[in-house]
Structure 1
Amino acid sequence: MQVKYLVLLILPFFWSCSDNDEVYQNIPLAFEVPSNFPPLVYDLANNPPTEKGFELGKKLFYDGRLSSDGLVSCGFCHIQQDAFTHHGHTVSHGVNNAVGTRNTPSIQNLAYQTSFMYDGATAHLDLQPIIPFTSAVEMNGNFSSAIAMMKADPEYQKLFKIAFTDGEINSENMLKALGQFMVMVTSSNSRFDKYRRKESGGTLTQQELDGYTVFNAKCASCHATDLFTDNSFRNNGLPVNPAVNDVGRYRVTELATDYYKFKVPSLRNIEKTAPYMHDGRLFTLEAVLEHYNSGVVASETLDPILNKKSKLGIPLTETEKSQIIAFLKTLTDNQYLTDKRFSEY
């Protein structure tokens, strides 16, 4: 894999555990920025990923004991084989079978994103876990209870001691560890990536190349760069569900111009992440493209791209739709979907 630059982090940390004087090494993890990716947004210097920090973050990510029912972990809704989404579920499910209002977004390449959640409720990756952790319909967690649980767990005691210079089991280090895990969960080795970097295995068929051409002409203004998102918030013309009336970005900014705007999702691994849209209302890629072709609804905050010359949507022929879908499937990254570094077991 061609690398634009390699972020080399500080020298290894060494810690001695007083119970047996065993010395443990906490090795920094190198973060590689692929040559076809835009620059990082996340400041690695403020929370440099390390071997034990990552291990601790992964343990936290998959630990159901952090939730009020002892069962729902981050990994409950973010399943690796489904690109860390809750495949097949229109909206997220939480403790005691509570049901949310939004579809579970994918965890991938978060270090390149400027904001998180469909409404951009936070702009810092290390703070993002607070939202699902404390949500009454997701994990319904409590920091005091979680910290007490971790302080009583010998494995957590050891990992916190090695992962952080102060060795403290507290909410700050807990969130930093989760941040390190999420930063390292990257997807950059799809067939499309190899095509872009001119690597072995990067051959696209003519139909896929035609789809890439159509995509660049009709989709790439929002799904920009090789991350396939411009990190913006847009109203894409979905009819409002009156039962929920999710106002999107407006809930955060309270600006009338942000009504019904949601974050543009990355299209990486989209073949694996159905159903689609912020509320999971569309179940196939064909349905998504048909929405843009014929289903866009006018409103005051509709993105101008979808209302040109008084014509709503993006006109797509059946051939163009099949070509785009063929191209989108080249964004599936099987290495990321099966990488044991990210898996629970």
Structure 2
Amino acid sequence: MLRLFYTAMAMVLLLPLTSCSEDALYVPVNEVVELNVPANFPQPAQDVSVTKKGFELGRKLFYDGRLSADGTVSCSFCHEQGYAFTHHGHQFSHGINDHEGTRNAPAVQNMAFQTEYFYDGASNSLEMLSIVPIHNPIEMAETLDGIANKLRTDREYVKLFGEAFDDAQVSSGNILKALSQFMAMMVSANSKYDKYVRNEPGSSLAQQELSGMQLFRSKCATCHATDLFTDNSFRNNGLPPNPFLNDKGREIVTGFASDAYKFKVPSLRNVEKTAPYMHDGRFGSLESVLNFYASGVQQSATLDPQLTHGGVLGIPMTIDEKTAIIAFLKTLTDEEFLTNPLFYYRT
């Protein structure tokens, strides 16, 4: 199903120009692009209207360093497609003047199905989320007005905004709308696992992967729920706070002590490709993550109750169970998403 969506999307993005009359100048057709929901997904949580030209403009903006103050840091700088749009190999995200942030860059995938964004839920709107990294003094250190002023001097951008939006304005609002349209279409739902659960012809899982799936469902799926592999909640998973950062997560946004050290449950889609792990990137392998849940969970006032079983902290797992769970997690890798040409910038 999703393969048909990608094919249809590609056809829409390559449609020829049309004219209103024989004497009229050719104008680009700005067709509405529908987000087809994969059969094993819940309904989208965000209502984003996407057009062909809006998507294309958003893609160009995503890869443009002019969104940062010094022109060096684009969205794609910290979100690389081949690694599910994470900053592969970097513990913390990087910004202008080689500044280093305090959190690991999260994946950008299945964004229309999420209710909150960032590890602390700093935004609950796909359209507005780009404000956060743009205004962050360490990441992009720019303003939307500053970006708009730069882009208004670029004739190509003036043309593209004119094609994408009825008001034809190179404006803060249209910049955010274009970026959200691009991200809304970044759907990852064609992994080995997806083909198996959708009963697609020729799809199957090996015995170890099936065993891992059952173990995952019994030990992990309360938080990593549905086929999005997240319940979009904020939880304290017992990770000892980084003594140099003391990042209190959700509490920074809400101000409630009851939210201290709670972070958004990340989706595990493409998790094989998104190392390092946790909000502070402290674990370099899936083995390290499972070892932590088995024996490293730390008690605290806001620890999620799912991580205490009969007075014992963590999630009991044998070595063989960990191996099987990792085998299953690797079935969530969606190579078609990681290599889809719709999502990388073409001049």
TM > 0.5 between the two? Answer: yes
CA apart distance, 1:65:
1.2
Aligned partner of 1:78 in structure 2 is 79
Measured in 2, the distance between the counterparts of 1:318 and 1:159 equals 55
Aligned partner of 2:108 in structure 1 is 107
Aligned partner of 2:13 in structure 1 is none
Q: Superposition pairs for residues 239-250 of structure 1, below 5 Å?
A: 239-250=240-251
Unaligned runs of 5+ in 2: 10-16
Kept in 2, the 8 Å contact 1:220–1:228? The answer is yes
Aligned partner of 2:336 in structure 1 is 335
Measured in 2, the distance between the counterparts of 1:23 and 1:342 equals 24
Asked if 1:313 corresponds to 2:314, the answer is yes
Q: CA RMSD in A?
A: 2.0
Asked if 1:26 corresponds to 2:40, the answer is no
Asked if 1:42 corresponds to 2:46, the answer is yes
Q: Number of residue pairs matched? A: 334
TM-score, normalisation: structure 1: 0.93
Measured in 2, the distance between the counterparts of 1:207 and 1:333 equals 19
CA apart distance, 1:344:
2.3
Aligned partner of 1:292 in structure 2 is 293
Cα displacement string for residues 248-299 of structure 1 (whole angstroms, at most 9, x for unaligned residues): 0000111111000000000000000000000000000000000000000000
Measured in 1, the distance between the counterparts of 2:143 and 2:96 equals 13
Moved more, 140-149 or 104-113: 140-149
Kept in 2, the 8 Å contact 1:231–1:263? The answer is yes
Measured in 2, the distance between the counterparts of 1:59 and 1:144 equals 18
Q: Superposition pairs for residues 229-308 of structure 1, below 5 Å?
A: 229-308=230-309
Aligned partner of 2:164 in structure 1 is 163
Q: Superposition pairs for residues 49-68 of structure 1, below 5 Å?
A: 49-68=50-69
Kept in 2, the 8 Å contact 1:15–1:162? The answer is no
Measured in 1, the distance between the counterparts of 2:2 and 2:120 equals 34
CA apart distance, 1:206:
0.3
Measured in 1, the distance between the counterparts of 2:66 and 2:255 equals 35
Kept in 1, the 8 Å contact 2:287–2:322? The answer is yes
Unaligned runs of 5+ in 1: none
CA apart distance, 1:14:
8.4
Kept in 2, the 8 Å contact 1:57–1:179? The answer is yes
User: What letter corresponds to residue 44 of structure 2 in structure 1?
Assistant: L
Measured in 2, the distance between the counterparts of 1:256 and 1:148 equals 41
Kept in 1, the 8 Å contact 2:223–2:265? The answer is yes
Measured in 1, the distance between the counterparts of 2:312 and 2:133 equals 39
Aligned partner of 1:188 in structure 2 is 189
**3-state SS, counterpart of residue 27 of structure 2:** strand
Q: Superposition pairs for residues 127-138 of structure 1, below 5 Å?
A: 127-138=128-139
Task: Call closer, same or farther: CA 1:201–1:118 in 2, change over 3 Å.
Answer: farther
Kept in 1, the 8 Å contact 2:18–2:26? The answer is no
Aligned partner of 2:144 in structure 1 is 143
Aligned partner of 1:217 in structure 2 is 218
Moved more, 316-325 or 198-207: 198-207
TM-score, normalisation: structure 2: 0.93
CA apart distance, 1:144:
2.5
User: What letter corresponds to residue 34 of structure 1 in structure 2?
Assistant: P
Aligned partner of 1:205 in structure 2 is 206
Moved more, 311-320 or 145-154: 145-154
Kept in 2, the 8 Å contact 1:191–1:201? The answer is no
Kept in 1, the 8 Å contact 2:2–2:189? The answer is no
**3-state SS, counterpart of residue 127 of structure 1:** coil
Measured in 2, the distance between the counterparts of 1:28 and 1:155 equals 22
Measured in 2, the distance between the counterparts of 1:184 and 1:67 equals 23
CA apart distance, 1:15:
9.3
Task: Call closer, same or farther: CA 1:154–1:92 in 2, change over 3 Å.
Answer: same
Identify, as 1 or 2, the structure richer in strand: 1
Kept in 2, the 8 Å contact 1:14–1:26? The answer is no
Cα displacement string for residues 91-142 of structure 1 (whole angstroms, at most 9, x for unaligned residues): 1000000000000000000100000010001110110000001111101112
Moved more, 306-315 or 284-293: 306-315
Kept in 2, the 8 Å contact 1:68–1:140? The answer is yes
Task: Call closer, same or farther: CA 1:176–1:14 in 2, change over 3 Å.
Answer: farther
Kept in 1, the 8 Å contact 2:2–2:190? The answer is no
CA apart distance, 1:68:
1.0
